[in-house]
């Protein structure tokens, strides 16, 4: 009998969970949702933040899980908001980011997926280059209406295939390869 959930996604953000679930479904991994507000340390390192969040999540969930932490890094703002992206979004939103920018709009998204169970703490990261649009475009969540991936003319919010090319997709793909190989070795 196949189990209904392979592991849990722990977050307070339902949007992130739904994206992760859709992406991992395509790799044959069944993802459950464990809604929780996690302790988020202040750090310049997304990996450190994600690792601490994963350990906190495991102490609450007690099941194999992943968490995701991501940051929007804008070159002309010296990488700001970076690891503080969630706080900055809640504080000034996309309108505030657009007001901060003049001509140079180059940016990148970095995503860290961290897996945690009683024996493992593993992180998988990816980045996606792009730019910040001049105006908010499309209906999406977070920074999706202002982030334009490199070699595209539309924002994430305007793209139908965001989940096939995003920073989150790339990090989840790395995680999936590792996780499926790990599970395969346990089955033998």
- The residues annotated as belonging to the active site are 69
Alpha-carbon distance 77 to 105, whole Å?
9
Cross-strand pairs, 114: 67, 123
For residue 29, how many other CB atoms are within 10 A of its CB?
Answer: 20
Distance of CA 48 to the CA centre of its chain: 14
Classify residue 8 as exposed, middle or buried by CB count within 10 Å of its CB (0-12, 13-18, 19+).
buried
Provide the token pair at 84.
């503080």
Residues across the chain: 188
């Amino acid at each position: 009998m196949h189990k209904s959930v392979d592991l849990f996604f722990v977050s307070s953000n339902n949007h992130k969970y739904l994206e992760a679930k859709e992406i991992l479904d395509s790799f044959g991994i069944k993802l459950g949702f464990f809604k929780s507000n996690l302790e988020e340390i202040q750090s310049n390192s997304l990996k450190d933040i994600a690792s601490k969040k994963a350990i906190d999540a495991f102490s609450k969930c007690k099941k194999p899980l992943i968490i995701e932490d991501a940051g929007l890094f804008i070159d002309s703002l010296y990488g700001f908001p970076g690891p503080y992206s969630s706080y900055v979004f809640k504080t000034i939103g996309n309108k505030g980011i657009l007001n901060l920018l003049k001509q140079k709009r180059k940016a990148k998204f970095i995503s860290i997926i961290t897996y945690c169970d009683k024996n493992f703490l593993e992180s998988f990261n990816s980045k996606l280059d792009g730019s910040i649009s001049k105006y908010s475009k499309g209906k999406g969540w977070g920074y999706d209406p202002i982030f334009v991936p490199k070699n595209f003319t539309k924002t994430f919010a305007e793209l139908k295939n965001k989940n096939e090319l995003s920073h989150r997709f790339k990090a989840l793909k790395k995680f999936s390869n590792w996780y499926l190989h790990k599970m395969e070795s346990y089955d033998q």
